[in-house]
Structure formats: C-alpha cells, structure tokens
C-alpha cells in the first residue's frame, strides 16, 4: 500500500496539468453525480415570484426568465451534456476500435476502401455534417447521440488502424502467431493494450469535441428538447435575456469551459505521464 | 545411431510480392530463395550463414509458414517448431509482464490451470538463469541478454523439439553472447533439441554448430560438417567469408 501511494505521488509530481485537470474533472463529476439525486431546487419548477432574480443566498446563481433556479439547471444540464458526450465517445471509440483494428491488422482492399470512406467523412466538418443529418432525421437526445457517435468513428478508427498497421509485423506478434494464437486473440489481447498510449488522449479529446458538438447543436435548437436542459440549450435560452440576466449565460458558459478544460488538462497530463514512463 | 530427420527441405523456392497496391494490379513477384535443399537431423545444430539480405530470415519464415508463397517441399517432422527472433527489443510485448508473455503459449494450447502455468513458467525462468523476481517485470525493465533469455524460455515452454534461432546473439555484446551460447548448448542437451541457427558471424557458428549451410543470394552454395567446410572450403564465396571473419 505504501509503495502504491508513493507511485501515485510520483505520478502527479511535477505534472501540474494532470493534477489540475484531475481536480477540475473530479469536481465537475461530483456535481453531476449529486445532481442525479439532489438539486437545490427542482430544475423545471417555475417560481413566478422570482423571475430573473440576481444571485442571492437563496438562488446562488439567480433565476432565469421563468423563475427557474439556474444552479439546479446547470447541475442537471451538465449531467445531460456529460451523458450524451460519454455515449457519443463510447459509440465512436468501440466502433472505431473494431473497424480500425480489422483494417490495420488485415490490410488489403477492405482496408483501402474503409480508410477512404473515413477520410471522406473527416473531410467535412463534423458539426456541419451533424446539422445536416439531424435536420433530416429530426432532433432529440437519441438522434444526437447516434449521429454524433457515427461521426466520431473515423477519428478513432484512423488512430487505431495506424497502431495496428505498425504492430502487425512486429516480432512479438509474429511469435504469437507461431504459438497458434487466433487472429481475434492477437487483435484484442496482444495488440489492443499497446494502443492505449494513443487511445487515451484520443478519448479525452473526443470527449471535449463531443461536449462542444452537443452544446452547439442544442444551442442551434436541434439537440436536446425542452423542458430537459443541456448546457447548450441553456446557453440559447440565456442569449435572449443576456441583458437582463447576464449571470445565466456567464455561469452556463463557465460550466462548459470547466468541463472541457478539466478533460483537456487531464489528457495533456496523461500524455506527459506516458512520455515520462518511456 | 540412426539419424532421425526433424526437418527436410527439398527444392524450396520462395517469392515475395513487391509493389502491391490498388493501382498497380500487376505486382512483381521476386524470387528470394532458389532451389534450397537440406536436412536437419535430430540433435543437429545447423548453422546458416551468409551476408545480410541473402534470404536467411526468409528461409526461417518459409519453414514456419509465415511466408506463404513457396514452392517445393518442407517436411516438418516435429510439432510446433518455435522461433527466437533477432531483435530482443521488439520480440516481447511491451504491454505485458514477463510472466504473462511466457504463459501465453500454454494458455493458447490449453489444458493447464493457472497455478500449473505459473509453476511451469517459474521453472523455465530458473532454467534460463533468470529468477522468480522477473515474473512480474515488464520487458523494458530487462537488459538485452535477459530479454533474449525470456524469448528462449518462451519458445521452449511448450517443449518443441526443433527451434529456429534467427541471429539470437547478434544484438548482444560479446560476454553476453558467450553466456547465451552456453545456455543454448545446455538447453539442447537437456531438452533433446535440434536448432537451425541463423547467423552472419562465422566464429559463433563455429563455436556452436556441427553442420553449416552457406547461403549466397538465396542459394545454398555449400553445406557440410563445420570442420570440413571451415578447413576445406570448396566454394569461393565460403573462402571469402572465412577470410573476412578471420580478419
């Protein structure tokens, strides 16, 4: 146990990115988890007596145009944004790993075709493409998750593919083949752990992109539908009353920024830690 | 004592495709090995010498079926021949522990409990002159010589009868080389192994092997007992190699 805590200390020491990122992310996560069980007020309950109230001891971040408690809405909204982003990254990452590993490991014509398809998709800005598809299929949380998830596949597939193409002919894979290991075993047991060094930063960056994409889409009104709140849709509401309730837009914006900043720093810190280990 | 062959190669030709791509559908097929024939008998250590790029590793890969575009006969009389690779730095999976790496052949073969596997690996670690401490280590924590010991132990863990050693000591410095060669000799005796030992170092081959194949540009130009070939080389290329090695 002693050596473990020592190792942890060494892990964080001199790595301010990792430390600060960890603290911010932990705080945001704690807030999100609490919001599932408790918020200061019901985030959809309207208090007509206290419309557009400024920050006070009762409503820490004030109320919006309908008299809803902004802190409660941010807590719930951050949770929604977080869950959507996690689902998007999960879809992108899992499908990306499967496609990328098969392409990279086996190569051949299927690889060439799939790589070109991925390149084609990444050639369009993801948000633009998402907007086009969502305006055809219709909005809603589920659609946003699926569309963004699919659009996130190529970025993961590409990274994973290049790692598999690199490892495919290394001696330790060659000898695994000689031992009689199946392709399935080589792909997922022998090579996959070796892709973690590039996959982990990609996941954190992907998460940030997912937060931004979700926020943008909800901001444009094709994401999460009211009365449910996400950080993006709240920012859109806040925009209308920017003059009367500036604290609404500011606190929502800060929530988005903190969510992203925490993960960016965490990602940067992880990469630094990985480099140092080498 | 009648000599049992463990490996017979007859008129082996091996090809590589070069320039394979979507646009160039006419890939060039280059012949790497030309009419290679030899036999490895039980208990032999056959040295395969020749300069870099002459097709030594290709021959090993053809025997093991890694390279598939071959013509001719490869008759393997043993089950699951194993190979120890030249570069000890890329032959061990950096994401795994030494114990995991050495247990993997047993896990794939199946039929052993985790405790049995662990015990077998610990015994093998001892056998290749490492310690139980190395079980939980990662490859990057080991020296080149230690890595090569792990590679050898991993190759032998399923008790093959025939092992191909592709330049197993070339990446190591001379004192470590001598230790590994000694280990290989002992293991051969204890496990009843036969080796095909690939090397560009004629002195190492002389120390270890009883037979030698001399390869030039994919062809075997001379083969025979080490004493005969070294004392009375027939082919000018062999003479050239011997002069270069002595100098």
DSSP character string of A201-248:
HHHHHHHHHHHHHHHHHHHTTSSSPTTS--HHHHHHHHHHTTTT-HHH
What is the distance between the alpha carbons of residues A252 and A250, in angstroms, rounded to a whole number?
Answer: 5
- Helix spans in A107-170 (H): 108-123, 126-137, 141-167
Considering only CA atoms, which of B82, B77, B85, B78 is closest in space to residue B64? B82
Partnered with residue B212 across adjacent β-strands are B47, B224
| Predicted TM-score of the model (pTM) | 0.80
Q: Which two tokens stand for residue B40?
A: 């490895």
Where chain A has pLDDT below 50, the residues are: 1
Task: Determine whether the interchain pair A176/B104 forms a contact, defined as Cβ–Cβ distance below 8 Å.
Answer: yes
Q: What CA–CA distances, in Å, run from A222 to A138, A214, A226? A: 7, 10, 11
Question: Nearest CA of chain A to the CA of B46: how many Å?
Answer: 21
Cβ-Cβ contacts under 8 Å for A142 (sequence gap 6 or more): none
Q: What CA–CA distances, in Å, run from A141 to A8, A146, A233, A252? A: 38, 9, 12, 19
What is the distance between the alpha carbons of residues B83 and B163, in angstroms, rounded to a whole number?
Answer: 6
> What is the rounded average pLDDT for all residues in chain A?
84
Other CB atoms within 10 A of residue B141 CB: 12
Residue B107 burial class via C-beta count within 10 angstroms: exposed 0-12, middle 13-18, buried 19 and up: middle
What is the distance between the alpha carbons of residues A225 and A228, in angstroms, rounded to a whole number?
Answer: 6
What is the distance between the alpha carbons of residues A41 and A49, in angstroms, rounded to a whole number?
Answer: 15
Strand B28-41 and strand B5-18: the pairing is: antiparallel
**A-proximal residues of B, 158-177, CB under 8 Å:** 158
pLDDT of residue A187: 93
pLDDT of residue B1: 47
Cβ-Cβ contacts under 8 Å for B38 (sequence gap 6 or more): B9, B46, B213, B220, B223
Chain B residues touching A178 at Cβ < 8 A: 64, 66, 80, 82-83
The answer to whether B93 faces chain A, any CB pair under 8 Å, is yes
The answer to whether A119 faces chain B, any CB pair under 8 Å, is no
Where chain B has pLDDT below 50, the residues are: 1, 247
Task: Determine whether the interchain pair A179/B104 forms a contact, defined as Cβ–Cβ distance below 8 Å.
Answer: yes
Q: Which of A113, A175, A193 to mutate to test the interface with B (most CBs of B within 10 A)?
A: A175
What is the distance between the alpha carbons of residues B19 and B8, in angstroms, rounded to a whole number?
Answer: 32
Task: Determine whether the interchain pair A190/B85 forms a contact, defined as Cβ–Cβ distance below 8 Å.
Answer: no
Task: Determine whether the interchain pair A193/B66 forms a contact, defined as Cβ–Cβ distance below 8 Å.
Answer: no
The answer to whether B1 faces chain A, any CB pair under 8 Å, is no
Is residue B139 within 8 Å of B92, Cβ to Cβ?
A: yes
Residue A49 burial class via C-beta count within 10 angstroms: exposed 0-12, middle 13-18, buried 19 and up: exposed
Q: Could you give the ipTM of this predicted complex?
A: 0.80
Question: Nearest CA of chain B to the CA of A134: how many Å?
Answer: 36
Q: Which two tokens stand for residue B87?
A: 């570069």
DSSP 3-state percent helix, strand, coil across chain A (nearest 5):
75, 0, 20
What is the distance between the alpha carbons of residues B245 and B51, in angstroms, rounded to a whole number?
Answer: 12
pLDDT of residue A1: 44
Chain A residue with the nearest C-alpha to that of B63: A178
Chain A residues touching B87 at Cβ < 8 A: 171
Q: Which two tokens stand for residue A40?
A: 């200061």
Chain A residues touching B108 at Cβ < 8 A: 179-181, 185
Task: Determine whether the interchain pair A190/B93 forms a contact, defined as Cβ–Cβ distance below 8 Å.
Answer: yes
Pick from B95, B108, B151: which is nearest to A181 by CB?
Answer: B108
For A38, the 3-state DSSP assignment is coil
Cβ-Cβ contacts under 8 Å for A230 (sequence gap 6 or more): A77, A80, A81, A84, A214, A215, A218, A223, A224
Domains of chain A with CATH codes: 15-34+70-277 (1.10.3720.10)
Beta strands in B148-237 (DSSP E): 162-166, 194-199, 211-216, 219-225
Is residue A149 within 8 Å of A91, Cβ to Cβ?
A: yes
Chain A residue with the nearest C-alpha to that of B25: A109
The answer to whether B68 faces chain A, any CB pair under 8 Å, is no
**B-proximal residues of A, 142-201, CB under 8 Å:** 170-172, 174-181, 185, 190, 193-194, 196
Chain B residues touching A193 at Cβ < 8 A: 93, 95-96
């Amino acid at each position: 146990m002693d050596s473990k805590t020592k190792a942890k200390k060494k892990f964080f020491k001199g790595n301010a990115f990792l430390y600060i990122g960890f603290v911010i992310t932990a705080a945001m996560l704690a807030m999100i988890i609490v919001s599932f069980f408790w918020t200061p007020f019901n985030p959809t309950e309207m208090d007509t007596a206290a419309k557009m109230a400024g920050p006070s001891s009762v409503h820490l971040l004030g109320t919006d145009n309908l008299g809803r408690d902004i802190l409660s809405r941010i807590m719930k909204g951050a949770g929604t944004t977080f869950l959507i982003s996690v689902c998007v990254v999960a879809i992108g990452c899992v499908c990306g790993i499967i496609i990328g590993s098969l392409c990279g490991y086996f190569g051949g014509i299927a690889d060439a075709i799939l790589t070109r398809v991925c390149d084609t998709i990444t050639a369009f800005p993801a948000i633009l493409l998402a907007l086009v598809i969502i305006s055809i299929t219709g909005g809603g949380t589920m659609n946003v998750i699926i569309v963004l998830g699919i659009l996130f596949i190529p970025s993961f597939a590409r990274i994973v593919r290049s790692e598999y193409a690199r490892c495919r002919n290394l001696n330790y894979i060659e000898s695994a083949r000689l031992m009689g290991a199946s392709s399935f075993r080589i792909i997922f047991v022998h090579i996959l752990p070796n892709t973690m060094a590039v996959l982990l930063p990609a996941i954190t960056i992907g998460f940030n992109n997912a937060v931004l994409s979700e926020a943008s889409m909800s901001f444009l009104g094709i994401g999460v539908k009211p009365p449910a709140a996400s950080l993006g849709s709240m920012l859109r509401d806040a925009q209308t009353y920017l003059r009367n309730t500036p604290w609404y837009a500011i606190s929502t914006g800060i929530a988005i920024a903190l969510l992203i900043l925490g993960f960016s720093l965490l990602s940067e810190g992880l990469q630094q830690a990985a480099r140092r280990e080498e | 004592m009648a000599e049992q062959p463990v490996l017979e190669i007859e008129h082996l030709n091996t090809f590589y495709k070069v320039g394979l791509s979507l646009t160039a559908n006419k890939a060039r097929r280059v012949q790497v090995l030309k009419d290679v024939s030899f036999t490895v008998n039980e208990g032999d250590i056959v040295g395969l010498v020749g300069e870099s790029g002459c097709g030594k590793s290709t021959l090993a890969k053809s025997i093991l079926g890694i390279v598939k575009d071959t013509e001719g006969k490869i008759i393997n009389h043993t089950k699951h021949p194993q190979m120890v690779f030249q570069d000890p730095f890329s032959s061990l999976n950096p994401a795994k522990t030494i114990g995991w790496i050495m247990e993997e052949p047993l896990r794939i073969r199946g039929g052993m409990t985790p405790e049995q596997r662990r015990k077998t690996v610990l015994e093998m670690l001892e056998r290749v002159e490492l310690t139980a401490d190395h079980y939980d280590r990662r490859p990057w924590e080991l020296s080149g010589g230690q890595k090569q010991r792990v590679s050898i132990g991993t190759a032998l863990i399923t008790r093959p009868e025939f092992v191909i050693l592709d330049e197993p000591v070339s990446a190591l410095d001379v004192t470590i080389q001598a230790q590994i060669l000694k280990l290989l000799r002992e293991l051969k005796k204890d496990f009843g192994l036969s080796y095909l030992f690939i090397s560009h170092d004629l002195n190492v081959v002389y120390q270890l092997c009883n037979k030698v194949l001399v390869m030039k540009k994919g062809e075997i130009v001379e083969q025979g007992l080490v004493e005969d070939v070294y004392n009375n080389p027939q082919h000018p290329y062999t003479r050239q190699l011997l002069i270069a090695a002595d100098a």
